[in-house]
Every structure is written in structure tokens, then in C-alpha cells.
Amino acid sequence: MFGERLENVRRRQPLIHTITNFVTVNDCANILLACGGSPIMSDDPSEVEEITSLADGLTLNLGTLHQWAVPSFFAAGKRANALGHPVVLDPVGAGTATVRTNTALSLLKKVRFAAIRCNLSEIRALALGTGSTRGVDADAAGSVTEDNLEQVVSLVRGFAADTGCVVAVTGAIDVVSDGKTAYGIYNGHPLMRSVTGTGCQLSALTAAYIAANQDNPCEAAAAAVCAMGICGEIASSRLGPMDGTGSFRVYLLDAISRLDGETLDRMAKVRRF
């Protein structure tokens, strides 16, 4: 089911304009190359519209938010909309500071998004105006578990319907929905939380998958989430006695670069709601 979505990325090699944060910009570029796409990184307001015009998709990541760069988010997003290119929003830290939350909410009003990739605390901040975050990570109240899974699916499905885009909430259990179909994804490894930027990388990966599979953005986003989790599992299986989070980070990128459609379908742990 998802394997075809991966193979389309390899075949179509989408160019993704990624406006991301300075903590993870290199990792986002490398994961796009590893999955079969290509990165182009620019956040200067004087050129973002032109750069976006060259690309097949766009990622807007609020990780290290600077007011001078905010106009770039809107300019690039509107240009991508005009061209029919998919745009993915990563509202990093929404709920931690007013400016972050307001910037994300304003973007949702003025830019049409194909997908939002966030954690549970961030979607609660955007959808309900409640919730908290610990840095850019989900706090204990922001964890998706079997106990709250049905409620999270309902929240994600409702927010997706309200925004008109796919919403992917990631954590120990991932939930992806377009307002109708919903997937629960059980792939992944706890070490992924110990390497900074895995969420940012996933947002860029999601943009590549959707750009290469515009006929079904929900399935494409779910495939990207599933692929990232599977590669976390593969990376963890390679760790030796002297390996730690640094090796895991490299092995994760290796796994993305070597993943194929057959492996994705075979290892996927997915529940459809």
C-alpha cells in the first residue's frame, strides 16, 4: 500500500524548498537527498518566491523563529499555492510562546496547506488553544497512548476537516488523517526522541512524499510517517555495544537512503480507523 508512494518519490525526484531552522537545516537537506528527492534551502524574503517557483513542494518550519523571516513564510506559501505546489507546515513549539502560536494560526488562515506535521501538544495549542510543551518536544501530557488513542484520532480527524488538509501527529503512536480516513502507525523507536531534528526531517520527508503523490496526500503522508518509523527501527538494530545516539543518527539516514517499497510494506505496522 505505502510502498508505491515511496517508489514514486524515487522515480519523480521532487525538489523541495525547505524553510527550516538552523538547528536541523543540514539534516533536512540530507534526508531529502536520501529519500530520492532534492533540497533547496532559502529563507531570504527577496528570493523565496522565485525559489519556490522552481520547486515541486514547500516546507515551512517554525523551529528557530525570527521576525525578519516571517514574511518569507507567507510569501513562499502564497506563491506555492498559486502554482499548485503542496505546502507542509511544521508549527514547532506552538503553545510555548504567543508569537509562535499566532504565527502558525495566521499561516493557517492565509496559506493553504497540504499537510501539518506536529506533536500532540502543538495540535492542542492550534486546535483547542490549550496544552503545553517542554521545549520543542511533547511533554507527558502530549503523549499518544493506547489509553487516549481514540480521543487523539477524533481530535486529529476534526482538525484535519476544519483546516482542509492532512494532519500528522507523531509520537509513540502516530496518527494521520485527512478528516475522513485515519491511520494509527506503530512504527518507530524511543531513540528517535534523543536525536534532535527527527520531527523536522519527517516534515521535509512528508513534503517530498506528497509532492510525488498528489493524487492521495493522506496516504502519502502516512507512508512518510511509516517510513521514518521503520527506519528508526532499522537504525536501532544496527547499534553495537559502543554505539549511541550519534551512530543512531547516521544509521537513520542510511536506512532512509536504502529503504525500498517492499520493505516499507512488509514492516509497516498500521491500523486504519
pLDDT, tens only, 9-61: 999 999 999 999 999 999 999 999 999 999 999 999 999 999 999 999 999 99
Confidence band of 140 (pLDDT split at 50, 70, 90): very low
pLDDT tens digits for range 103-134: 999 999 999 999 999 999 999 999 998 655 55
- Domain locations along the chain: 3-272
User: Per DSSP, what are the bridge partners of residue 118?
Assistant: 169
pLDDT at 131: 57
**Pairing state between β 182-185 and 270-272:** antiparallel
pLDDT at 67: 86
Cβ-count burial of 258 within 10 angstroms (0-12 exposed, 13-18 middle, 19+ buried)? exposed
DSSP letter (8 states) at residue 137: B
- Cβ-contact 131, 155 below 8 angstroms: no
Average pLDDT, the chain: 94
The class (CATH top level) of 3-272 is alpha beta
Residue 182 phi/psi, 5-degree rounding, is: -140, 140
pLDDT tens digits for range 225-265: 999 999 999 999 999 999 999 999 999 999 999 999 999 99
Q: 217-237 vs 245-258: helix axis angle to the nearest 10?
A: 130
